[in-house]
Chains A and B, each alone.
Chain A
Amino acid sequence: MSRHVAPHRWADAFAGRLAEAERAQMDLHAASCKACADARARVGRASDSYGSIRTQAAPELPWDSVRARVHWSVSKEKRAQSQPPRRRIPHLAWAALAATAAGALALVTNGDLPRATEAPIAELPHPVTAPPEPAPVVAQPAALAGLVVRSAGATSDGEVMIDGVRPADLFARRLGAGTVLATGDGRVDVQFGDASAFALGPHSTLELRRFDAQLIELVVDGTIDLEVAPRLPGQRFVVIAGEHTVEVRGTRFRVRREAVATTIECRHGLVAVRDRSSQIEVGTARRVQLSAGTAITADLVVPMSVAELASLTETDPVRVPMWSVDALVSGSAPLEISTVGRRDVRVDGIELGLAPLRVRVMPGRHTVEAADPAGRFRRAGWVDVAAPTEGATPARLVVPAEPPRTAGIAERRRQLRAGIDQSRLARCTRSIAKAGMTDTYVQVELAVDASGAVSFLNVIDTDLPSATASCVRDVLADVRFGAGAAATWREKLDL
């Protein structure tokens, strides 16, 4: 044999794919050729190692964590398909809002902050072991007041009705005992303490039957998400949902009353649920679904899935820091944000969910960002909010529609195809064509702006050798585009 043995032929030989005569000829050559003998040894060792690679066991992984993440991802997608996505308001962003609001309040009040008028809502929760005793009678419990801090829905006022009418001054109204709130397609968030707020979901009705420092009694039909600061001894917080009563100690939970059943989901803390004859407790990350007319039993309480907990997190009611009813009524104003279609928005870096919406802010300049279809927030503009005055219309910012991103693709694609220097391209692929490598391809992603400049050009997939792929990329990079619509697209070129 006059020529060296190609290394892959040794692999064929080890796999028994060669005739005996050919194998003998190769061995004969290797006996007199050190390079081929070395190649044979290396290929032989590699072939021997395939078996050990094939029998490699899977490494141990944090299986429970992976499973939780899988369930999270899958259920999140299903939720997104069934309802418009909502965003959680991050804690850090709250800190930013707190700082902003503190500064603004200090300016409004000259640094002399009024104190909250209602009773403090603090201290540790009590464990509920038995149906609680009625609260001791207090001669004149201090009345509480709630303020709307956000409304959202198909229209920015959330189609909220107070006592049967849609008020023009939704954000100026103090909500007290006896108030009845009702929502249409939207939702409304009401704050009534430093760490206490509720969000009334779409198509729901809520009556503030008792609303004072001693007893808060809410009657709900529909969905309500609550975040309640721990109760002091003697303070009670009760949500009545049909025949069931939910007694709160200090917690974040949701009550959903529907025609056939009432569901109570508790994200943290503890709530006691009772009917006329019995009581059960629903603790952290637990839920209970009670059908109408069915007796309450402890075995109805089941753990919540990761997806269900995430769903609760996403519907957290909005709260403003430095809670003080008087200061907020006189020193804050609603900001209305309108969008074309429903888009997530941020105000001063704080995610507020889907617009159109109104949110309570302090006077001053506020930056508004809106999410594009990919979920990236882009600056939509800023708006100056003045201190509230009688009859003034709320500050308003209209977020312009996103320009369609695909409008110019067809034209840009045509320009690319027409602009490729085919002779240069052929030079790039000549060497591999000579080697018999045909039917190759390269897939690129490129962006062209309105002036025709290429913003980026990346080879994202190819079966070409790297030098050839680089050569092809250079050819594509030299294509000249004219002015026109901006476009970003992927192009697969068969070579």
Chain B
Amino acid sequence: MLGPVKRDTGSSAVLGPADEADLIARCRADDRGAHDEFYHRFRRQIAGNLYRVLGDRTDLDDLVQEVFVIAFRGLERFRQDARLSTWIYRICVNVALGRIRTRKRRPPPIGVNDLDSAAADPSLVERPETPERSLERHQDQARVYRALETLAPKKRMVLYLHEIEGLDLKEIAYLVDSNPVTVRTRLFYARREFYRAIAQDGES
């Protein structure tokens, strides 16, 4: 069984395996209360995952909705070979991939990167930080997402999961439904393209 991914999931509370199994069983039995509990427990994790992967909050509520619908639809088939939070993260990755592909076909009319607005991250507002440092951090993050935009969707995803989230190849392979060798190959090319874009950003 694949354990939970290493990063903070943002769940309101971590579920033990027994509680998790109970929640899944009740959701499968169409218990409305269980559906509500599932929603409240995972909504911030899902929103956070999507937000960080995509780097903007355009239509984020639609995407969160999509993840939940897929999750509720797929709970019947969930074999519990991974933690529930990991399985949900996998759905997030797939939904985000779909979103990235759509966005590449139809670029948004306005700038997509609004990550790290103060309102979106209350935890950072509480931390003392000079305006200059805040601006710098914002610019660095924007540079990272600009470079990510230059990658093909699948490369972008493995690069994000490896470099930013710090996941290993096996975890990434589960999340993107691939095998570790393919992920390694994809990551190899993705890193070269990504860091080349980072190095060239602002040169002109």
Binds B, one of A38-46, A259-267, A313-321, A447-455: A38-46
Q: Please, what's the 1-or-0 string for A193-220, where 1 marks a CB less than 8 Å from any CB in chain B?
A: 0000000000000000000000000000
Distance, CA A57 to CA B45, complexed state (A): 9
CB neighbours (8 Å) of A71 from chain B are 35
Partner of B120, one of A54, A56, A74: A56
Distance, CA A66 to CA B50, complexed state (A): 15
Distance, CA A460 to CA B116, complexed state (A): 31
Interface residue? B78 (CB, 8 A): no
CB neighbours (8 Å) of A305 from chain B are 32
Task: Tally chain A residues at the interface, Cβ within 8 Å.
Answer: 45
> Count the A-B residue pairs with Cβ separation under 8 angstroms: how many?
141
Interface bin, chain B: 35 or more
Partner of B144, one of A49, A73, A77, A463: A49
Interface residue? B4 (CB, 8 A): no
Interface residue? A90 (CB, 8 A): no
Q: Please, what's the 1-or-0 string for A440-464, where 1 marks a CB less than 8 Å from any CB in chain B?
A: 0000000000000000000011111
Chain B binding surface, main DSSP class:
helix
CB neighbours (8 Å) of A7 from chain B are 195-196, 198-199
8 A Cβ contacts from B19-57 to A: 30, 32, 35-36, 39, 43-48, 51-52, 57
Partner of A70, one of B7, B65, B196: B65
Q: A43-B199, A52-B137, A66-B65 are in contact. Are A59 and B36 (CB under 8 A)?
A: no
CB neighbours (8 Å) of A11 from chain B are 163, 191, 195
Interface residue? B15 (CB, 8 A): no
Interface residue? B112 (CB, 8 A): no
Interface residue? B155 (CB, 8 A): yes
Distance, CA A65 to CA B62, complexed state (A): 10
The answer to whether A50 touches B10 (Cβ under 8 A) is: no
Distance, CA A71 to CA B33, complexed state (A): 12
The answer to whether A38 touches B120 (Cβ under 8 A) is: no
Distance, CA A460 to CA B100, complexed state (A): 12
The answer to whether B192 touches A463 (Cβ under 8 A) is: no
The answer to whether B163 touches A50 (Cβ under 8 A) is: yes
19 A-B pairs within 8 Å (CB atoms) are namely: A7-B199, A38-B199, A39-B199, A42-B198, A45-B140, A49-B140, A53-B141, A53-B144, A54-B165, A57-B124, A58-B51, A59-B51, A59-B120, A66-B68, A67-B39, A437-B189, A463-B155, A463-B186, A464-B152
Residues of chain B whose beta carbon lies under 8 Å from any beta carbon of chain A: 7-8, 10, 30, 32, 35-36, 39, 43-48, 51-52, 57, 60-61, 64-65, 68-69, 72-73, 101, 115-116, 119-124, 137, 140-141, 143-144, 147, 152-155, 163-166, 182, 185-186, 189, 191-192, 194-196, 198-199, 201-203
A7-B198, A52-B124, A56-B48 known, 19 other contacts, Cβ within 8 Å: A7-B195, A10-B199, A38-B199, A45-B140, A49-B137, A50-B144, A52-B141, A54-B52, A54-B165, A56-B120, A57-B124, A58-B47, A59-B121, A61-B47, A61-B61, A70-B39, A73-B69, A461-B153, A464-B152
Top-8 shortest CB links A-B: A58-B48, A7-B195, A58-B47, A39-B199, A49-B140, A7-B199, A8-B195, A59-B120
Residues of chain A whose beta carbon lies under 8 Å from any beta carbon of chain B: 6-8, 10-11, 38-39, 42-43, 45-46, 48-50, 52-63, 65-67, 69-71, 73-74, 77-78, 305, 437, 439, 460-465
